[in-house]
Amino acid sequence: MNAPETGRPAGRLEQLEFDNSFAALPEAFYTRLAPLGLPHPYLVAASADVAALIGIDPEECARVEFCEIFAGNTLPPGSDALAAVYSGHQFGVWAGQLGDGRAHLLGGLRNAGGHWEIQLKGAGRTPYSRGADGRAVLRSSIREFLCSEAMAGLGIPTTRALSIVGADLPVRRESIETAAVVARVAPSFIRFGSFEHWSSRDRKAELRQLADYVIDTFRPQCREAANPYAALLADVSRRTGELMAHWMAVGFMHGVMNTDNMSILGLTLDYGPFGFMEAFDAGHICNHSDTHGRYTFRNQPHVAQWNLYRLADALLPLIGKPTLAQGAVDEHFGPAFEARFEQLMCAKLGFRAALDDDEAFIGETFGFLQQHRPDFTQFFRALSKLPAAVDPEKQAKTDAPLRDMFVDRAACDAWLTNWRARLAQTPWEDDARQAVMFAANPKYVLRNWLAEVAIRKAQDNKDFSEIEHLLTCLRRPCDEQPEFEQYAALPPDWANGLEVSCSS
Q: Is the pLDDT of residue 497 over 80?
A: no
Q: pLDDT (tens digit, 9 = 90+) per residue, 233-269?
A: 999 999 999 999 999 999 999 999 999 999 999 999 9
CA angle 202, 206, 210 (to 5 degrees): 125
What average pLDDT is seen over the chain? 95
How far is 181 from 158, CA to CA, in rounded Å?
19
The percent of residues above 70 in pLDDT, for the chain, comes to 97
How far is 97 from 443, CA to CA, in rounded Å?
41
Going by C-alpha positions, the residue among 106, 109, 99 that lies closest to residue 123 is 106
One of 260, 270, 358, 399 is an active-site residue; which one? 260
pLDDT at 38: 97
Written as one letter, the residue type at 84 is A
Of the pLDDT bands very low, low, confident and very high (cuts 50, 70, 90), residue 6 is: very low
Q: Is the pLDDT of residue 501 over 80?
A: no
**For 236-388, where are the E strands, in sequence order?**
252-253, 275-276
Reply yes or no on whether 260 is catalytic.
yes
pLDDT at 4: 41
- Non-local CB neighbours of 263 within 8 Å, separated by 6+ positions: 159, 186, 188, 189, 190, 191, 269
Give the mean pLDDT of 30-34. 97
Q: pLDDT (tens digit, 9 = 90+) per residue, 302-338?
A: 999 999 999 999 999 999 999 999 999 999 999 999 9
Give the mean pLDDT of 154-173. 97
pLDDT at 8: 46
pLDDT at 113: 85
pLDDT at 499: 74
Q: Is the pLDDT of residue 504 over 90?
A: no
- Non-local CB neighbours of 40 within 8 Å, separated by 6+ positions: 167, 168
Q: pLDDT (tens digit, 9 = 90+) per residue, 379-427?
A: 999 999 999 999 999 999 999 999 999 999 999 999 999 999 999 999 9
Give the mean pLDDT of 333-344. 98
